[in-house]
Amino acid sequence: MPPRNDAAENLLRELLKSDLHLSDKATFVDRMPGPAAATELRPDYIIKDVDIDYLVMVSNYATEQSIGRLALLKQLLKGPGENTRFVLAAKNIPKIISDMALRIGVITVQLPLNIQVNTIDDGGRITTENAWKVVTDILRNGLTSIKAVSRRAKISYGWAHRITNRLISRGIAERLNDQVRIADLDKLLNVAALERPMSSLIKETVWTDYSESMDAATGLTRLLDRSGVRFAFTGFTAASIYTGAAIRHDAVYLYIQQEEDIPALKSGRLKDLHGIRIQVYIPDRNVTKDSRIVGDVRVVSEGQALLDMAGFGRSGGDLAREMARRHGSTVDKG
C-alpha cells in the first residue's frame, strides 16, 4: 500500500465531501457516533455534517468483503435512524457490488483511478507499509493512545484503530484502559518473518574484491551516491550499524529501489570474485525516502531495518530483538 501524504489525504477528503454533496460545515472526526463508539469495527473516515454522520470505508477495489464490513457495522449499530449514512468509496466498483450496496442502503462513491488511498484490503497483514508504521510507533512509544499513534504516524484514526485491534487479536499487543502497547515481541517478529520473508525480495548476488564488509558498504555508498542511484543498506549491515553488534563479514545487504539501476553496482570493484558479496534486494515499498547516512553508510530507517531483520527468520532473530529493544527505547523516556 502506498504511503499516505498530506496532499493525497486532503484531495481524498475533498473528493468525498464533493461527491457526497456535503455542506461547508462538514468535518472529519475521530469518535464514532452514539452507540457505535464502543465497537471494534471502524470505518476509515467519520464525517459529521450538521446532524448527519457519514461512516466511510475506502478501498482500491470494492469487493463483497468491503460491503460485508459495512453491513456488519450497520448491524452493530442496531438499526440507526436517518442520521447515519454508510459509504463505500473505491477506485473500482463492479456492478454486482454496486447492486449489493444499493440493496442494503450503502452509498457508493467512485474515486479517480490515480488517487492514493489508505486501503484496508491487505489480507490482515501487519507488515504492509502503513500497518508497520503503527507497529513501530507503538513499539517506540510504549504505552500510548491510538489517537496519538494516528497523529505521529500521519495515518487515519480508523486505520490505526484497525491495525491495533489486529495486533491485540493476535496476542502481539495488549490494551490497558484506553491505551495500547506491544506485549509479545517474539510473536511480533515471528509474524513479520512469515508475512514478509527477505528471501522473497532478493534479486541477485554480486561479488566484489572488498575484503571487509564495512569497507564495501562505505565504498558502495560513495559509488551509488555519485551515480544518482536510489539505494540503502539493510539487513545485517544496517542492524549492526544501529546496534554496534558484530556483523556477518562475508556479505553486505543492499536495497536498490529500481531494478534497472543494478548495473551501476557492476561498475565498481569486481575484479576478485572471492571477496565480499552484495546481496541485492528489490523492495516492495519506498525504503529510500527515510534512509540516512550513519558512519559513511546509507542505511534504511530503524523501523525498516527491524522489519527486514525479522524477515531473515531465525538467522536474524537475535539481532532483530536487539533492534526492537533499541527502537523501543529511543523515544519513550517516560
From 68-72, 159-163, 275-279, the region with the lowest mean pLDDT: 68-72
Helix (H, G, I), strand (E, B), or coil: what is residue 323? helix
What would the mean pLDDT of 122-151 be, rounded to a whole number?
Answer: 89
CATH architecture of 198-328: 2-Layer Sandwich (3.30)
Give the DSSP letter of residue 2: P
Task: Give CA–CA dist 76/93, Å, rounded.
Answer: 24
Task: Give CA–CA dist 314/320, Å, rounded.
Answer: 9
pTM: 0.65
pLDDT value for 333: 33
Top CATH class of 6-110 equals alpha beta
Task: Give CA–CA dist 103/116, Å, rounded.
Answer: 28
Domain spanning 129-183 has what CATH number? 1.10.10.10
Point out which residues pair with 106 in neighbouring strands. 86
All structural domains of the chain with their residue ranges: 6-110, 129-183, 198-328
For residue 81, pLDDT over 70 is answered with no
Q: Give residues with Cβ within 8 angstroms of 64, minimum separation 6.
A: 97, 100
Q: Give residues with Cβ within 8 angstroms of 334, minimum separation 6.
A: none
Task: Give CA–CA dist 43/71, Å, rounded.
Answer: 12
For residue 123, pLDDT over 60 is answered with no
